[in-house]
Amino acid sequence: MTVMTRELKASYAFVARNWHLTKRYWGWEAAFLVYAVAGALSITLIGKDQGDDRLLFYLMIGAIFWNYLSVLFQILAEQIAWERWEGTLEYTMMAPVRRVSQLLGSTFYAVVYGLVHTAVILVTLALFFGLDLSRADFATAGLFMLLGSLSFIGIGMMAAILPLIYVERGAQMTFVLQSLLLLISGVYYSIEVLPDWMQTLSRLSPATYVLDGVRRGLIDGAAPASQFHNVWPLVAMAVVLIPLGVWMFGRAERYAKRTGKLKRVG
């Protein structure tokens, strides 16, 4: 068996495992999906209430695409916390699997899971509001989802380090990080309303560029070629954050092995 085949098989192990877990926790999955749909509807209804179709679109895109990015982030960031909770972390870490393969498998599942979630919410909202999407440029939306996924994968990998090195508080830290991304990324409002120092921070969040790009594509029909100012930061973040995430994960694993923090607690 070649190294590549073995690593792909190992990557698939994480995909299959997560799929089995999704099936076993189907009740929770259904509850999360209902909550996500209800949340997106509630927020979008603010636009309806204001009688402003552009605002309605604006909020809807924020709700849907933030849901996608946060699902991706959560699955990646919580993979270690999850294993620590189940007690399987040591077994995964001692298996002959490269971390890249592990992260690849988890990421692939997270992307597919996030896309299914997003599709369900998008269809529900489109039907609920009878939206006219004839001007929408879905290719642009797809491109920004792809680029946004790549940069969020890097952030998710870095966030996954927190439960690895902070045994008791790591999971809470990832939650705080996710909340801050929500606050600064212009999910439901323009980042111009933020104080100057927060606007600086918002430019470091990939979600800012994803949401702006998707909004221009779906509301105004702007093609990717006209959105270079949103594309290049996402490409740069993906190029930097993914290798950085893998490298930092390796360093954190080494630290956890030196200090004995892989051992289950709780």
Partner 1 sequence: MTTLLDPREPRLAPEPESPREHQPKPKAGMVLAVTDTVVPALLVEHVTKRFVVGRRKKPVLAVNDVSLRIERGEVYGVLGANGGGKSTLIRLVSTLLTLDSGRVEVFGFDIERDEMAVKRLINRVSVDAAFFKKLSPLENLVYAARLYGVDAGHGRRDSIRILARLGIAEKRLSRPLEQMSRGMQQKVAIARALMTSPTLLLLDEPTTGLDPRSKLDVQTFIEEMRDDHDTTVLLTTHDLAEAERLCDRIGILNDGRLVTEGTPTELKAQVAREHGRPRTLESVFMSYTGRSLDEDAEADEDADDE
Interface with partner 1 (CB under 8 A), residue from 93, 115, 194, 222:
93
Beta strands, E only, 100-256: none
**In angstroms, what is the minimal distance from the CB of 120 to partner 1?**
23
Closest to 110 in 3D by CA, of 99, 102, 120: 102
Tell me if 88 contacts partner 1 by CB under 8 A.
yes
Phi-psi region at 137: left, alpha or beta (left = phi > 0; alpha = psi -120 to 50): beta
Question: Tokens 């509807």 belong to which residue?
Answer: 41
Return the number of the residue (10 or 177) whose C-beta is nearest partner 1.
10
| Secondary structure (DSSP) of 131-150 | ---TT--HHHHHHHHHHHHH
Nearest distance in Å: CB 76, partner 1: 18
Nearer to partner 1, 5 or 134 (CB): 5
Q: Does 247 bind partner 1 (CB under 8 A)?
A: no
The alpha carbon of 165 is separated from its chain's Cα centroid by a whole number of angstroms, namely: 21
Q: How far apart are CA 104 and CA 265, in angstroms?
A: 26
What does the alpha-carbon distance between residue 158 and residue 219 come to, in Å, rounded to a whole number?
Answer: 33
* Distance, CA of 219 to CA of 72 (rounded, Å): 24
Question: Least distance from C-beta 100 to partner 1, angstroms?
Answer: 12
Among 4, 94, 127, 193, binds partner 1 (CB under 8 A): 94
Q: Between 3 and 193, whose beta carbon lies closer to partner 1?
A: 3
258 lies in the site for partner 1, by CB under 8 A: yes
- Number of residues interacting with partner 1: please give it, by CB under 8 A: 32
Contact between 224 and 231 (Cβ < 8 Å) = yes
Residue 251 within binding range of partner 1, rule CB under 8 A: no
Residue 168, amino acid = E
Given candidates 52, 90, 132, 168, which one binds partner 1 under the rule CB under 8 A? Answer: 90
Residues between 21 and 50 that touch partner 1 (CB under 8 A): 21, 24-25
- For partner 1, the binding residues (CB under 8 A) are 1, 6, 9-10, 12-13, 16-17, 20-21, 24-25, 86-88, 90-98, 254, 257-260, 262-264
